[in-house]
């Protein structure tokens, strides 16, 4: 789908296509015939054929100017696209968009919504419901060009994440995830290094390897680097959970909760999407991302409840539940990124706990952090793209719950406060480095299309991480 700015309003007569008017409440639409349209937010009027303009014209209400938010703009843009595709429209002109006095940021999110509203994951359907819309013209001044391009990029990177996460686990496994990261690195401009099983052994990543052992698909440790500021020692690190399938291991999940576990590499999807946007926009920042990619699956080689394992840091862990695998892969990744890549700030992003889903559903991402400033930056970054985050308490009493009996730590401490104890478990491996942890188990996917989010993966986190890197 092509989105273009058209500057000269006169040129509209050259287009053999439809128009759409976006209207605030009380706004004069200049078309006497459509006075009864009340411009309530979200209302999209049926086709009207106006003698006066000889065009198929749609009306769309934006409600009161003062109650219009960036989230509402993204949502309405997506809903318009869904509606027009339903009506088999191929080309559309937003002829009065200039009169709406939208800021550059508002145009940017409008474009995001247009693109995200047309996303569907239909790769494996033999009959695809093709989108009819192929071109969109925004009647705007040239000065909005950057905003339009930025909107396209952020939507595209969100879609990169969605595509990776929606891919089923028989196609998306450590090897293919690593290959995708490499391909995207070449396309968007970051470097990708892939460590194989032998390299991972040499790095002594005992916790990661314990989880990976059960699968005949070998683990990959994926490192992505973007150096936009070579004069600076500052390095931001992202660690994404990359369990390409989580069966629970010997602490086996029931089918109902296992069936969605291809999304357990949602954190990996988010960091790859963010890397694409960061590199493409050539941010003046150094960013390193890592993913410890493996499957958590059963075989005679798999790790077992009761095993005691040694992490890369040297700390030992008693495995009380093999379904608490994410934190085991993440601690080796975190230890690596801090000690080998020398990052001085780190974000972990993971579909880590069902407790996060219980607490906040699919709406808000709970955060665990050891640093107020970094948390504030994350909160601001999330606000810039209307993703919702909320900080969890991290009182000392929670930390006591993860102390091991037969080893330094235990990976499971009961389900109560599970989102916090899982986060703090990772926190044991960050030392004094400022750290925020995002548990996207709930926000990673949704069951039904909703506004600019489509059924399946939401790509949550990719845009927040991008904005965090802009800070
Ligand atoms: N990958 C799951 C968490 C998850 C749950 C993600 C639901 C997406 C949706 C994680 O590895 C896990 O299995 N966590 C367990 C831990 C429990 C055994 C303490 C959980 O939350 O059920
Ligand atoms: Mn699990
Ligand atoms: Zn998991």
Calculate mean pLDDT across residues 34-52.
Answer: 77
Pocket lining: 246 vs ligand 1, CB cutoff 6 Å: yes
State how far the Cα of 205 lies from the Cα of 403, in Å rounded to an integer: 21
Give the catalytic positions in this structure.
253, 327
Atom of ligand 1 nearest to the CA of 326: 11
The alpha carbon of 325 and the centre of ligand 2 are apart by a number of angstroms equal to 5
Task: Determine the residue of 241, 294, 323 to mutate for testing ligand 1's pocket, defined as the one with the most ligand atoms within 8 A of the Cβ atom.
Answer: 323
Kindly give, in sequence order, each residue whose CB lies less than 8 Å from that of residue 323, ignoring residues fewer than 6 positions away: 246, 248, 249, 251, 252, 253, 296
Mapping DSSP to helix (H, G, I), strand (E, B) and coil, where does residue 291 land? strand
Pick from 291, 299, 328: nearest CA to 311: 328
Is 322 within 8 Å of 251 (Cβ atoms)? Answer: yes
Pocket lining: 242 vs ligand 1, CB cutoff 6 Å: no
Task: Determine the residue of 325, 354, 425 to mutate for testing ligand 1's pocket, defined as the one with the most ligand atoms within 8 A of the Cβ atom.
Answer: 354
The alpha carbon of 249 and the centre of ligand 3 are apart by a number of angstroms equal to 10
Over residues 314-346, the pLDDT tens digits come to: 999 999 999 999 999 999 999 999 999 999 999
State how far the Cα of 58 lies from the Cα of 43, in Å rounded to an integer: 10
The whole-chain average pLDDT of the chain stands at 95
The alpha carbon of 330 and the centre of ligand 3 are apart by a number of angstroms equal to 11
Task: Determine the residue of 265, 268, 401, 441 to mutate for testing ligand 1's pocket, defined as the one with the most ligand atoms within 8 A of the Cβ atom.
Answer: 441
Q: Residue 10 — very low, low, confident or very high, per pLDDT cuts 50/70/90?
A: low
Instruction: Look up residue 156 and give its two tokens.
Output: 């595209």
State how far the Cα of 141 lies from the Cα of 439, in Å rounded to an integer: 41
Pocket lining: 460 vs ligand 1, CB cutoff 6 Å: no
pTM of the predicted model as reported, rounded to 2 decimal places:
0.97
Pick from 242, 241, 469, 464: nearest CA to 343: 469
Question: How many angstroms separate the Cα of 120 from the Cα of each of 87, 137, 457, 458, 463?
Answer: 17, 22, 10, 11, 19
Lowest model confidence (mean pLDDT) among 50-64, 93-107, 163-177, 181-195: 50-64
Taking 90 as the threshold, does the pLDDT of residue 362 lie above it?
yes
Q: Which DSSP helix (H) or strand (E) runs through 207?
A: helix 206-212
DSSP label at residue 223: E
- Provide the pLDDT for residue 30: 67
Beta bridge partners of 192: 224
State how far the Cα of 69 lies from the Cα of 149, in Å rounded to an integer: 20
Atom of ligand 1 nearest to the CA of 296: 11
Is 420 within 8 Å of 392 (Cβ atoms)? Answer: yes
The alpha carbon of 276 and the centre of ligand 3 are apart by a number of angstroms equal to 25
**Closest ligand (CA of 259):** 1
State how far the Cα of 387 lies from the Cα of 464, in Å rounded to an integer: 7
């Amino acid at each position: 789908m092509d989105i273009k700015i058209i500057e000269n309003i006169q040129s509209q007569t050259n287009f053999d296509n439809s128009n759409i008017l976006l209207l605030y409440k009380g706004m004069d639409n200049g078309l006497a015939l459509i006075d009864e349209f009340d411009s309530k937010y979200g209302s999209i009027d049926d086709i009207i054929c106006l003698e006066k303009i000889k065009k198929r014209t749609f009306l769309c209400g934006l409600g009161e100017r003062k109650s219009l938010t960036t989230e509402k703009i993204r949502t309405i843009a997506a809903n318009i696209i869904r509606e027009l595709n339903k009506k088999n429209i191929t080309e559309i002109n937003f002829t009065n968009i200039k009169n709406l006095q939208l800021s550059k940021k508002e145009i940017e999110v409008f474009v995001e919504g247009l693109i995200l509203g047309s996303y569907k994951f239909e790769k494996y359907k033999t009959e695809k419901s093709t989108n009819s819309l192929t071109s969109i013209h925004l009647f705007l001044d040239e000065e909005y060009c950057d905003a339009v391009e930025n909107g396209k990029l952020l939507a595209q990177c969100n879609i990169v994440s969605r595509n990776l996460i929606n891919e089923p686990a028989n196609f998306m496994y450590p090897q293919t995830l690593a290959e995708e990261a490499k391909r995207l690195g070449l396309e968007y401009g970051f470097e990708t290094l892939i460590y194989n099983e032998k390299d991972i052994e040499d790095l002594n990543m005992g916790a990661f390897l314990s989880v990976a052992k059960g699968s005949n698909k070998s683990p990959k440790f994926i490192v992505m680097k973007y150096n936009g500021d070579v004069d600076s020692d500052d390095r931001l690190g992202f660690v994404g959970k990359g369990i390409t399938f989580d069966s629970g291991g010997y602490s086996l999940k029931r089918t109902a909760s296992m069936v969605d576990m291809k999304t357990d590499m949602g954190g990996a999807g988010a960091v790859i999407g963010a890397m694409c946007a960061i590199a493409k926009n050539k941010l003046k920042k150094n960013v390193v991302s890592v993913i410890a990619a493996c499957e958590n699956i059963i075989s005679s080689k798999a790790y077992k409840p009761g095993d005691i394992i040694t992490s890369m840091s040297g700390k030992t862990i008693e495995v009380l539940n093999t379904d608490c695998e994410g934190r085991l892969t993440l601690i080796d990744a975190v230890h690596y990124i801090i000690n080998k890549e020398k990052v001085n700030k780190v974000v972990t992003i993971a579909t880590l706990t069902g407790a996060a889903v219980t607490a906040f559903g699919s709406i808000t991402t709970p955060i665990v952090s050891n640093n107020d400033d970094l948390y504030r930056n994350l909160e601001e970054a999330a606000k810039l793209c209307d993703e919702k985050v909320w900080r969890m308490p991290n009182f000392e009493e929670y930390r006591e719950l993860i102390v091991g009996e037969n080893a330094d730590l235990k990976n499971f401490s009961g389900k109560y406060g599970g989102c916090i104890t899982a986060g703090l478990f990772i926190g044991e491996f960050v030392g004094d480095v400022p750290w925020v942890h995002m548990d996207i188990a709930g926000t990673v996917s949704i069951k039904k299309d909703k506004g600019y989010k489509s059924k399946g993966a939401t790509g949550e986190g990719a845009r927040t991480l991008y904005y965090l890197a802009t800070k």
